[in-house]
């Protein structure tokens, strides 16, 4: 697997990784709260034969500058700025977890920005900001940091709680490395940005082909919830990866890639080769 260098946009706001030929159809990957652009290494390489693949470091990750006010809406606006900065038009967007929430938010303000989207292991809502479950979720993740533990110390446990059956060892190593590298302030800001997020009413307004991809062992974005979510999206296809937890692209990269390939091929069939032989 070829590695990709970390690049920086001309304005210095964002760091990212990319592969494939400039001018090829763009396929843009958006990581989750514990991720980074490097979490998509396998996908950047595998899809680069047909696409210009790009993975950003979300604001506050890698060398990307943090936002002054972190919210899903502001992250969606930052994504649009990023796409302009890397001269990407009409990208197919692949959003994992909070990345999928950002894609949903961007489609609210710019419904025609992408010809297709993949919402991987994500949700249309986090619920009430003052809800008991929401408070417990946030407290469980931020409590250890408040007690003085570091992201590096927490990474092995956090990752182990996210994965399903027999995950790829190399993928788990990358997941732990990404989680350990998230700045504490960024992790806190992203967790708090979830509070109050609710775009359930907007699902029926998504007009582009959409793949909703779940893992059967995902406790953060449970498969039954995602299947129900798919039922509200007009042009949706739902796929469930058996035995997979919340980090599908790292746990089972070949299975994850196969699901994307099947969806993308159905949406954008390869042009037939012109046989010029007489």
- Give the per-residue pLDDT at 276: 52
Residue 263 located in a structural domain: yes
Tracing tokens 């979830």 back to the chain, one arrives at: 194
Residue 235 located in a structural domain: yes
Residue 30 counted as domain residue:
yes
- In-domain check, residue 275: no
Q: Total structural domains in the chain?
A: 1
By three-state DSSP, how is residue 32 classified?
Answer: coil
The pTM of the full predicted model, rounded to 2 decimals, is: 0.94
Residue 272 lies in a domain: no
pLDDT tens digits, one per residue of 61-114: 999 999 999 999 999 999 999 999 999 999 999 999 999 999 999 999 999 999
The CATH number of whichever domain residue 21 belongs to comes to 3.40.50.1820
Segments in the chain forming alpha helices (H) = 41-46, 72-85, 98-109, 132-146, 151-160, 169-181, 184-193, 223-231, 248-251, 253-267
- Whether 136 is covered by a domain: the verdict is yes
In terms of residue numbers, what domain contains 11? Answer: 6-267
Q: For residue 96, which phi and psi values (nearest 5 degrees)? A: -100, 130
Q: Is 218 among the domain residues?
A: yes
In this structure, is residue 278 part of a structural domain? Answer: no
In this predicted structure, what is the pLDDT of residue 278?
45
Q: Which residues contact 143 (CB under 8 A, 6 or more apart)?
A: none
Residues 6+ apart with CB under 8 A from 47: 20, 27, 53, 257, 260
């Amino acid at each position: 697997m070829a590695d990709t260098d970390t690049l920086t946009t001309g304005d210095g706001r964002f760091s990212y990784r990319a592969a494939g030929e400039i001018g090829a159809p763009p396929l843009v990957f958006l990581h989750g709260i514990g991720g980074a652009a490097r979490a998509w290494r396998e996908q950047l390489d595998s899809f680069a034969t047909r696409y210009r693949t790009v993975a950003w470091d979300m604001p506050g990750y890698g060398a990307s500058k943090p936002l002054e006010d972190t919210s899903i809406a502001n992250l969606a606006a930052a994504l649009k700025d990023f796409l302009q900065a890397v001269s990407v038009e009409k990208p197919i967007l692949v959003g994992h977890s909070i990345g999928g929430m950002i894609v949903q938010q961007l489609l609210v303000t710019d419904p025609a920005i992408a010809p297709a989207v993949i919402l991987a292991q994500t949700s249309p809502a986090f619920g009430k900001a003052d809800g008991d479950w929401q408070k417990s979720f946030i407290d469980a993740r931020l409590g250890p940091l408040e007690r003085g533990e570091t992201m590096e110390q927490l990474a092995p446990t956090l990752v182990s709680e996210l994965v399903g059956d027999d995950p790829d060892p190399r993928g788990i190593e990358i997941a732990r490395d990404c989680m350990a590298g998230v700045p504490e302030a960024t992790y806190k800001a992203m967790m708090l940005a979830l509070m109050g997020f609710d775009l359930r009413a907007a699902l029926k307004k998504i007009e582009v082909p959409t793949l909703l991809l779940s893992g059967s062992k995902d406790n953060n974005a449970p498969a039954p919830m995602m299947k129900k979510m798919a039922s509200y999206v007009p042009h949706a296809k739902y796929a469930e990866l058996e035995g997979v937890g919340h980090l599908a692209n790292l746990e089972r990269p070949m299975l994850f890639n196969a699901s994307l390939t099947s969806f993308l091929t159905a949406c954008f069939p390869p042009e037939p080769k012109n046989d010029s032989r007489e």
